[in-house]
Chain A
């Protein structure tokens, strides 16, 4: 995989060698003032079939897909479960990660840790 364009990464991808039973969902990662967002396309996955794990700074998303048993005549995508993992740095407040699912798209909000948020410092005049 290519390097992320930013040198300072608040979340990086952990592309581990994984079982070919899984496919990687397409993702976007973007940063806003107070949070980092991971958006993953997981078409065909119901809300209850999405599993999000966070262990040892590794955030893993998994989605279970119903695999049609009918004979396939034309294939442009592989109907398989989704799996992707990300390594989080201490810049993320792991306690405050939240997720929502909408029409097969998973959105994860990863708030930045308080100490890293830009803070205005008032200059007092004496």
Chain B
């Protein structure tokens, strides 16, 4: 049973709780079947990421609107890819906020890579606030046709 402390209706807290639950669901699912795993070191959900399986490997998309690509730090080790950066809040005084849904500050996310990725060939492209990380599989991991010879 879960108990909640009543704080009044906070829609964004609700959304973020729901998001956490969904993340946990994903994590549970990933442990079983899925080669990538988000490191638990960073409890963050910014930037939001999608992962796709492409013809020759994987592609990781991260939503980083408003961040200059020069301010993004992407690094890779044998096992982990890490994305770090800062989204700066708009400067200037005398702003009266009527609605605030966007978040600012430092962020870092790390993803564990499966063995099959050729780390040396990982490339990243920035496309209007969307970071696309292309991660091809190593040649020897790609499926090959084997010809059946008739004796």
Interface string of B49-86 (1 = CB under 8 A from A): 11111100011010111111100000000000000000
Total CB contacts across the A-B interface at under 8 A = 121
Task: Please state if B45 and A70 are interface contacts (CB–CB under 8 Å).
Answer: no
Identify whether the interface residues of A are mostly helix, strand, loop, or mixed. loop
Asked whether B40 is an interface residue with its Cβ less than 8 Å from the other chain, the reply is: no
Asked whether B30 is an interface residue with its Cβ less than 8 Å from the other chain, the reply is: yes
Asked whether A2 is an interface residue with its Cβ less than 8 Å from the other chain, the reply is: yes
Task: Tally A residues with Cβ within 8 Å of B.
Answer: 39
**B-contacting residues, A73-97, CB 8 Å:** 73-77, 79
Interface size on B, as a range, is 35 or more
Bound-state CA distance A30–B130 (Å) is: 25
Given contacts A71-B52, A75-B51, 18 further A-B contacts (CB under 8 A): A4-B99, A28-B101, A29-B99, A31-B97, A32-B95, A36-B98, A44-B63, A45-B128, A45-B129, A47-B128, A73-B34, A73-B52, A73-B53, A102-B66, A103-B69, A104-B65, A105-B65, A105-B66
Which residues on A are within 8 Å of B, measured CB to CB?
Answer: 1-2, 4-6, 9, 11, 13, 26-33, 36, 39, 41-47, 68, 70-77, 79, 102-105
